[in-house]
Chain A
Amino acid sequence: MKSLSFLCAMVALLLPVPVFAAPIEFGASVQLTGQFANTGRYYGDAYRFAVDKINAAGGVKVGKNREKLSLKILDNQSDVNLSVRQYVQLVSQDKVNFLLGPFASDFALADSAISEKYSVPMIQGGGASDQIFSRGYKYIFGTLPPASDYFQSTLDLMGQLKPAPKTIALLYADDAFDVSVADGTRKAIGKASLKIAVDQRYSSKASDFNSILSLIKSQDVDAILVAGHETEILNFIRQAKTLNVNPKLYSFTVGVPSADFRAALGQDANYAFGMTSWVPSPAFKDDYFGNAEQFATEYQKRFGYEPDYHAASAVADVEAFVKAIESANTLDPAKVRDAIAKVDFDSLYGRIRFNAAGQISLPQTVVQIQKGKLAPIYGPKGLIEKPLYPMPAWGKR
């Protein structure tokens, strides 16, 4: 008996001191496993990183006190339905104060219904589809620029290239984000009086693009614009090589800014154009990280991989909450929601200011992979670096 009580005492000693939940808790359901884990990790890691940094700087000022932040991240296994259930759990059982978003438009589209229903503000940095913000919801905010504008800067650049591309092939996956991209791009192509030679929608997760590529080749298209997912774009580029398809230019909505995408393709990644709403430049000052370049260095050191705009956008989500909470001076969800609608500050990600629908507006910088490195090509102020155009044929690289 004695030994038993001794054992109990030992166990009690070993148990950690009960930690009282921090007064301000954020909840998020992100893709830590499953087919979107590769991009989902940016959100899990960047949310954590931002919360740690803000806590290290003393936390958030509410009234006379400075409150620490805490973060509850659930893994939705890349399953939309599970993510909806997890957000319900975060709001109704875990009673978190505020919600941070998942990756990808399909998820944000479904999950924002929960923030709306429970009137808990959600700022998400992973969904760009215009559909998310066209339903009159009041509790959803987004820090990715609208999907419909993704190719705008690329089309602007194309207007300045010589010889100017005239015919375009537009390919897009059949999910919320890519359909929005295609709708916006189609309009912009019309305005720029370019000709769409091929306009094809394909099913997400497609791995075989040989038929479309053969069609594009037979039409002798100048420029190919693809809105899809990284896996599809990897296959697309590899198959373009094997079928010897040589447009003057091709550009992709995702993949190009990500380090592992470039690593997977090696030499074949060269000349691909893409876009990013963020570049890790010291010009972007930030209250917690110094500037965007310092953020990128620290991030790489802590997590072992390079951040891209997804990570910067996620940090901006947390910072926007901090600004809004401080200006509302309360944790009341409705008041914080109104304060979010009014925030206007500079972050490492750029200027954060939401429009009436809740979405941010940031210019997309055109980037190109040149000799394995990402080069900024065209921004809001015009040309930055010289684009490699037209791309050399596959056989001449």
Chain B
Amino acid sequence: MQLLWQILINGVLLGGLYALMALGLVLVWGVLNIVNLAHGALIMLGAYACYYLFTGFGWDPFAALPLAMILLFCLGYLIQRYVLNLVIRAPMFNTLLITFGLEVVITYLAQVTFSADFRTVNPSYAGANFVWLGATVPLVPLLAFGVALGLTLALWLFLDHTRIGRAIRATAQNLTAARLYGVNPRQLYALTFGIGAALAGAAGTLYGVVSQINPYIGSGLTAKSFAIAIIGGLEKSIYVLVGGLFLGIVEALTALYIGPTYTDVVSFGILVLVLIVRPTGLLGRTA
């Protein structure tokens, strides 16, 4: 029983980070209808940004987080403005290929620039933990969980309650009508992609603190984010949280009761099941 309680806590904390990883992907997918295969690579860049701010300038990772987000926002904005906007009207397959290409380019540039050495962001409190109701709760994953929760809520508020947010949602729902109301879609798309990249930057910062960084972590993270997006559904950013938590808990339980070899089998098996049974996600409205 004690063990199960511990596993559930592990799963919830992991799920929070998962949700943050997928948040940017879901936003871009929902608004631009682009499945950004370079999303994981952007997370990787965020992790390196945090690493260099931490080791080079002694910044605390949580202080480095906003700057990493700003840097990634700029990068994302430029990518959308000068690369993806050129093909935004192309069929989904083309944009998939382009983001796949971007992923490869970013990964290889990262290896050339940062080398293939493994890095970790290891502040003195990285291993801190406390005991709560008999379970060990690690501090950093808990903080990361808090940040993930905060950013998800912030994104939800931004999309629902600000003028730009509403414009973004309007563009996603009906482009022609949004244009008639004076929305400039190119500008808005770049902004959205920038926000998506900034969220990837935040996820990367936290990922570097709890895990390890190398130029090749991206593709695995994209796959995981993709699964979470499908499970949670694209309708509302808040649903991502549900998808992330669900996957985190399922993986933790699978590793314990079925065996750690099978975590990917189970998580992608669920992905397939969800696609068949509830294609709009667990919480999405059924068509």
Contacts and interface: CB of A to CB of B under 8 A. Distances in A.
Interface of A: 33-35, 37-38, 41, 78, 174, 200-203, 205-212, 214-215, 217-218, 230-231, 234-235, 238-239, 241-244, 260-261, 263-266, 268, 394
B120 A214 contact: no
A211 B118 contact: no
Contacts of A78: 216
Q: Which 10 A-B pairs have the closest CB atoms?
A: A241-B127, A211-B255, A242-B138, A202-B260, A37-B116, A210-B10, A35-B216, A38-B116, A234-B212, A211-B256
23 contacts: A33-B111, A34-B216, A38-B118, A201-B260, A202-B261, A207-B220, A208-B14, A208-B263, A209-B260, A211-B7, A211-B10, A214-B10, A218-B2, A230-B118, A234-B120, A235-B211, A238-B120, A238-B210, A238-B212, A243-B10, A261-B118, A264-B118, A265-B122
Nearest to B262: A203
Interface string B86-111: 00000000000000000000001001
Contacts of B263: 203, 206, 208
A230 B138 CA distance: 23
A34 to B, nearest CB: 7
Given A206-B260, A210-B252, A218-B2, 15 more contacts: A33-B108, A201-B259, A202-B261, A203-B262, A207-B220, A208-B252, A210-B255, A214-B6, A234-B120, A238-B120, A243-B129, A264-B117, A264-B118, A264-B122, A268-B127
B16 to A, nearest CB: 13
B136 A234 contact: no
B224 to A, nearest CB: 9
B141 interface: yes
Contacts of B211: 207, 235, 238
Contacts of A239: 210
A266 B119 CA distance: 10
Contacts of A234: 118, 120, 212
Contacts of A37: 111, 116
B100 to A, nearest CB: 15
Interface residues of B, number: 40
Given A200-B259, A200-B260, A264-B212, A242 B111 contact: no
B7 A238 contact: no
Contacts of B116: 33, 37-38, 41
Interface of B: 2-3, 6-7, 10, 14, 108, 111, 116-120, 122, 126-129, 136, 138-141, 210-212, 214, 216, 220, 251-253, 255-256, 259-264
Could you say which of A41, A209, A241 has the most chain B C-beta atoms within 10 Å of its C-beta?
Answer: A241
A242 to B, nearest CB: 4
Nearest to B117: A260
Contacts of B140: 242
A235 B120 CA distance: 9
B82 to A, nearest CB: 26
Majority secondary structure, A binding face: helix
B149 to A, nearest CB: 19
A260 B127 contact: no
A235 B264 CA distance: 17
A242 B214 contact: no
Nearest to B255: A211
A210 B17 CA distance: 14
Contact of B138 (A201, A211, A243): A243
Given A174-B261, A394-B127, A266 B108 contact: no
Contact of B260 (A33, A41, A212): A212
Contacts of B108: 33
Nearest to A218: B3
B34 to A, nearest CB: 26
Contacts of A214: 3, 6-7, 10, 256
A207 B2 CA distance: 23
A242 B127 contact: yes
B138 A203 contact: no
A242 B126 CA distance: 7
A214 to B, nearest CB: 5
A201 B255 CA distance: 10
A30 to B, nearest CB: 13
A212 B3 CA distance: 11
B120 A38 contact: no
Contacts of B138: 242-243
Given A174-B261, A241-B127, A242-B126, A208 B212 contact: no
Contacts of B128: 242
